[in-house]
């Protein structure tokens, strides 16, 4: 199975997407979108953030200090 985004309808009839890893595990699930176009825009936004987004560590871990 290839990793990627899956677009689907939830139990309420709203559009959602999930990011699925190569092993099939779900890494994240989106908020509900009323329209498919909005959910696809959410996927595009997630793709952009994943590439250019920075990591902010809010754990306060000594190992990251």
Residue 9 tokens read as: 């309808």
pLDDT digits (tens, 9 = 90+) for 10-58: 999 999 999 999 999 999 999 999 999 999 999 999 999 989 989 899 9
In a domain, 19, yes or no: yes
Q: What CATH number did the domain enclosing 44 receive?
A: 3.30.160.160
Phi, psi of 42 (to 5 degrees): -65, -40
Give the total number of structural domains in the chain: 1
Residue with tokens 């939830």: 10
Could you tell me if residue 40 is inside a domain?
Answer: yes
pLDDT at 65 over 60: no
pLDDT band at 60 (very low <50, low <70, confident <90, very high): confident
Q: Environment class of residue 1 by beta-carbon count within 10 Å: exposed (0-12), middle (13-18) or buried (19+)?
A: exposed
Residue 56: burial class (beta carbons within 10 Å; 0-12, 13-18, 19+)? exposed
Q: Does 60 fall in a domain?
A: no
27 occurs within a structural domain = yes
Residues of the domain holding 23? 4-54
């Amino acid at each position: 199975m290839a990793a990627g985004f899956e677009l689907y309808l939830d139990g309420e009839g709203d559009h959602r997407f999930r990011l699925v890893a190569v092993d099939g595990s779900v890494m994240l699930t989106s908020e509900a979108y009323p329209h498919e176009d909005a959910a696809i825009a959410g996927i595009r936004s997630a793709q952009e953030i994943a590439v250019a987004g920075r990591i902010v560590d809010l754990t306060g871990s000594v190992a990251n200090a």
